[in-house]
Structure 1
């Protein structure tokens, strides 16, 4: 039922028209069989208009089939586009911690594999309706020839369909298992791509990954698919076989029981042989619908996990702020068990125009603090306020527009998005960051194909600078820069941002540049504290 609701939402008019045209085409095909039957059994002298009726039926079959297939293409593409759009919208609107818990591999599998499975099933749905109409009309025609024979045919067909559905239910268990295994395969394929340098640098690691991780995951998925497909194939063949058993009974057994004319038997055999085509179409569509139902259930499960969308923000970003305060803010990674890491309670006030450095050891909670400050994480307890007002779910998306961020794990798009910078400003930042050969000024394209980590972060800083938000947050930006650009960052870029009225929050280990900051805070085991003021003042004096 949920699968059909997807079809209705996509384009119920196209689906209905395509189904009706398919049904008309099927009826015309059945009409051809009836005309052939009459041509074979009637007196040739009474043929009369049969050739003209046959030609007209052929023209109608061609027109209805071409039109129905055209509408099916439109319908399938519209369905796929709508599904992808709805999923992308949900993903974009979902809270970041929820997306992190779902994992990119499951999101990608839903966006690609599940959408394709649903589209394939729905694109064939009108044709299945047409085949069902042909079967219904064919049975009516058989009933007009001989009601007892029609009853026997329906009985045999029912046994065959029931056998097929039983096999399909058994195969469904393996198909569902294969879909679960697919998430693991996608996960390991992404790991292979992301970690290709590490694999190339260690042959034993590469062999272990391929033979102990990737291939076993792929084998489990493949085994489930093979078993499920084989069961479906056997059930399909078994279901079709009952039609031919029925034909055999008609030809060899029924004449022994009751008198039946040769013309009636001929009509029955011709009609049943023709009806094997629409029945085969329906039986062949059911596995696709089964796979689509699994995909819908998978997407629905994903939707339940990301079904709490955040309030969307306005298009324009805030241009200024008076203060940002964190009061007793805490955050805990619940998914990691009882001994999970917890940040806080944190008390912090951020003022316009200041340059704040946050230092601390690896894993101390600096990046978590940055994500709380920028509104990407929601505090478990405490208060986050913006200009004296609490940052609630209603305003959180607007609050996030205050920040231009460069995170350690940040993604770099291959073009400037949502930015309308002047050519002079673009060229200034390109020159300052040494990115002349990585940016196409005319088109705004970023050449992201072959970048070192340092160049990646420089391009990310370029995008953040052009974004021109009131607050800049840099997460270990200088950690992978050479000494020249590290010095440029602390001695030129940060002072320039400060002179233009921007507030800067930089997570850093570079204590030799602490004198650049207005103040320095330390994060130790999830707790925030002031840095040693005497130590900082000595560095400033130096």
Structure 2
């Protein structure tokens, strides 16, 4: 993941890194000039002052330039990461998305992407301070190589301690990262389950105290401990530096002509180096946190693979024939707590035909619909579209045939059908037909609000599907949340209208009083078709008569 980001911003990263190295070099030169000025003669001070001013200006300009460049780099990295994950989600097989889960994807887009982007913002600090520390060590070697060897030993001990601390801290950061994925799912439950939590005080308390609070505490505890270990190791390294300064001042430097320069230089450089070294040690955990987050993003995106070829909607052919031949699918069934087999299924669909799919809960109706629209590839058998088998090379193209309203539908705030000039007018006409004109309108291709009841949102989803104007419509229990008036509109007006337009329609329904309106009735039980025929005249005659439709006081 980090290599991907570096490749995306190679020129900007190289330029920002060069400016940062230049800044670190100028900072070390500035300290060397201060050290020289403390022991310089009066005749040398004028020249040193000019050099000092020029170096100070270079330090200031290089710092500002590096900070701006790396801020741009961090924001670009954040945007690139989010776009990368979003593209993976859009291209992934639907079954893989269900396996990965919404919480992990949200965690990758929010938490993990932020950590990786923060590393790019902190990278100039790491690079800059690394250059300063390296430059200070070189300057000390120039002053006295004997004392320099002891300095290397002290720095080495600090680094070994830090490395051992890092190995332990990174384990806790990994635990916190894994728990963070679970925490995002609990956050989602706060809003999705708000009704249930408000209606049950014991459930609300148990959710907070036993689930949510515990997860928040685990993330806090593990992340705090991991970062605290880094801080403690930084304090140990800082203590070693002060010990070394004391040894230089009071024990190591013997009398000689350069004694004052060596003592002043070492003391000044080490005091100055404490800040950059501490900043270096404190910012390295960000790199480790970014590494953990990058691994999580890679793990999530690797799970969202696809073998399909993306289609071009402009080349979509019309629906002439669609058939399922021996289609079979297996999945885990919660009710029976075992592997559920759907099929083998043999079905044909034709334009201008309304098909009702009925059956008990858990019989496989929605799964069959997902197989039909290409969200699930069949494990056995084939789907034949216009005489050609559907596979990875054309499945995405095949899916463009369908407009659907599943029971777990999602509404976008825009219609996303911007190529139609009459979109607003047609959308508002349908809203009026479904009695939503006083609740919501279509303006510039967007809905004015989505704050509606579940039944109203379903009617809005029906409007979206209708405007898509695809050859095949699928409605999964659409009328379950509707008043009798809107059921009448749906079954007796909209469905016949779609049939007259030559659309193929599949309706998953339990409304047996409307079964006689279908051209064909399909019944499923335990994943198998048990009835597949046109409704009989007897069924139609014994169907419960529909009450008269009353709109605006007119029967």
TM range (shorter): over 0.9
Q: Which residue of 1 aligns with 2:340?
A: 341
Q: 1:72 to 1:309 in 2, by over 3 A?
A: farther
* Deviation >4 Å, runs of 4+: 256-260, 334-338, 531-537
1:504 partner SS: strand
Per mean C-alpha deviation after superposition, the further-off stretch among 389-398 and 122-131 is 122-131
Superposition TM-score, scaled by structure 1 size:
0.95
In structure 2, the gaps of 5 or more residues are: 544-555
SS of the equivalent of 2:444 reads coil
- 1:519 and 2:520 correspond: yes
CA offset digits 1:92-148 (Å, max 9, x no partner): 111111110111001100111110000111222233222222222222211111111
1:450: how far off?
A: 2.1
Q: CA–CA distance in 2 between the matches of 1:300 and 1:283?
A: 26
Going from structure 1 to structure 2, the CA distance change for 1:65 and 1:273 (only over 3 Å counts) comes to same
- Residues 122-521 of structure 1 mapped to structure 2, 5 A cutoff: 122-255=120-253, 261-316=259-314, 318-334=316-332, 339-421=338-420, 422=422, 423-521=424-522
CA distance in 2, matches of 1:78, 1:536: 66
Q: CA contact under 8 A between 2:116 and 2:294: conserved in structure 1? A: yes
Aligned residues of 1:15 and 1:126 also touching (Cα < 8 A): no
RMSD: 2.0
Cα 1:128–1:259 change in 2 (3 A) is same
Aligned residues: 540
Distance 1:306 1:534 in 2: 43
- Deviations, residues 204-232 of structure 1 (Å, cap 9, x unaligned): 11111111211122222222122212212
**In 2 relative to 1, CA 382–291 (structure 1 residues): closer, same or farther, beyond 3 Å?**
same
Partners of 1:456 and 1:34 in 2: CA distance = 71
TM-score (norm. length: structure 2): 0.93
Q: Which deviates further from its counterpart, 532-541 or 265-274?
A: 532-541
SS at match of 1:49: helix
Residues 343 and 526, structure 1, Cα contact 8 Å, conserved in 2: yes
- Correspondence for 1:24: 22
Secondary structure (helix, strand or coil) at the match of 2:309 reads coil
**1:111 aligned partner:** 109
Q: How many angstroms does 1:434 deviate by?
A: 1.6
Q: Which runs of 5+ in 1 are unaligned?
A: none
1:323 and 1:388 in contact (8 A); partners too: yes
Q: Which stretch has the larger CA shift, 528-537 or 498-507?
A: 528-537
- 1:463 and 1:432, CA in 2 relative to 1: closer, same or farther beyond 3 A? same
Cα 1:347/1:536, change in 2 over 3 Å: farther
Contact kept, 8 Å, 2:112 with 2:293, in 1: the verdict is yes
